[in-house]
Amino acid sequence: MNERSLIHTDIDFDRDGRQVSELHLPHSPHTDAWGVMPIPIAVIKNGSGPTVLMEGGNHGDEYEGPIVLGRIIRDLDPAEIRGRLIIIPAINIPAVLAGQRTSPVDGLNFNRCFPGDPHGSMTQQIVHYVHSVLFPLADAFVDLHSGGSSLDILPSAVVEPSDNPDLMAKTLDAVQAFGATYTVVLNNLGDPRTSTASAVENGLITVGTELGRGGAVSLDSIELAERGVRNVLKHLGLMEGEPNGPRDDERNLVCVPGSDGYVYAPAAGVYEPLHEKGALVEKGELAGMVHFLDDPGRPPVEAHYRSSGRLYARRQPGRVARGNCVGVVVVAYRGS
Give the CA-trace dihedral at 236, 69, 206, 93, to 10 degrees: -150
- Convert residues 43-72 into a mask of x (bound to a copy of itself by CB under 8 A) and - (unbound): --------------x-x-x-x--xx-xx--
Q: Kindly state the smallest distance separating residue 280's Cβ from a copy of itself, in Å.
A: 15
Q: Kindly state the smallest distance separating residue 63's Cβ from a copy of itself, in Å.
A: 4
Question: Is residue 293 part of the contact set for a copy of itself (CB under 8 A)?
Answer: yes
- Rounded Cα gap, residues 224 and 158, in angstroms: 13
Q: Counting every residue, how long is the chain? A: 336
Of 147-186, which residues contact a copy of itself (CB under 8 A)?
147-152
- Rounded Cα gap, residues 279 and 286, in angstroms: 13
Q: Please choose, from the candidates 96, 111, 22, the residue with its C-alpha nearest in 3D space to the C-alpha of residue 57.
A: 96
Question: Is residue 310 part of the contact set for a copy of itself (CB under 8 A)?
Answer: no
Of 208-227, which residues contact a copy of itself (CB under 8 A)?
214-217, 219, 222
Binding-site member from 77, 247, 294, 334 for a copy of itself (CB under 8 A): 294
* Residues with Cβ within 8 Å of residue 320, at least 6 apart in sequence: 265, 268, 269, 270, 271, 290, 326
Q: Kindly state the smallest distance separating residue 242's Cβ from a copy of itself, in Å.
A: 28
CB closer to a copy of itself, 109 vs 132 = 109
CB closer to a copy of itself, 150 vs 181 = 150
Helix (H) or strand (E) holding 182: strand 182-185
SS (H, E, C) 51-66: EEEEECCCCCCCCHHH
Binding-site member from 11, 13, 82, 112 for a copy of itself (CB under 8 A): 112
Question: Is residue 29 part of the contact set for a copy of itself (CB under 8 A)?
Answer: yes
